[in-house]
């Protein structure tokens, strides 16, 4: 590791510029990775929203089926739809926002 001395400069300007170039390359990689992560989170958020919409539609279809056929026992179907809604809600609560808070 280079130690700095007030009377003797161990690094030349060319060395410092080379190190800055290396730092910039690493920063570019990190920024690119952050963009990829943000895109993935956005995709996950869209998927969770789609699942929530589907769960709501399924529950509505079950309610319509019950109304049209009151003699049917739809307890198992109700339970499955309820479990799906609960799972979607739990996943939505875990998902971070796509854009980090400033």
Q: What pLDDT shows up at residue 56?
A: 93
On whether the pTM is more than 0.75, the answer is: no
Residue 79 lies in a domain: yes
> For residue 74, what are the domain limits?
57-95
- Is 74 in contact with 65 (CB distance < 8 Å)? yes
Q: How many residues does the chain have?
A: 102
Count of structural domains, the chain: 1
Cβ distance 81 to 59 under 8 Å? yes
Tens-digit pLDDT profile for residues 66-93: 999 999 999 999 999 999 999 988 888 8
Position of tokens 């969770």? 48
Domain for residue 24, yes or no? no
| List of the chain residues with pLDDT < 50 | none
Yes or no: say if 84 and 91 are a contact pair by the CB < 8 Å rule: no
Q: 4 in a domain, yes or no? A: no
């Amino acid at each position: 590791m280079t130690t700095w001395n007030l009377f003797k400069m161990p690094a030349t300007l060319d060395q410092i510029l080379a190190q800055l170039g290396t730092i910039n390359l690493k920063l570019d990689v990190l920024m690119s990775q952050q963009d990829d992560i943000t895109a993935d989170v956005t995709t996950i958020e869209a998927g969770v929203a789609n699942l929530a919409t589907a769960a709501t539609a399924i529950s509505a279809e079950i309610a319509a089926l019950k109304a049209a056929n009151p003699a049917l026992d739809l307890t198992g179907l109700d339970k499955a739809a309820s479990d799906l809604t609960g799972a979607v809600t739990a996943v939505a609560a875990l998902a971070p926002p796509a854009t980090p808070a400033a």
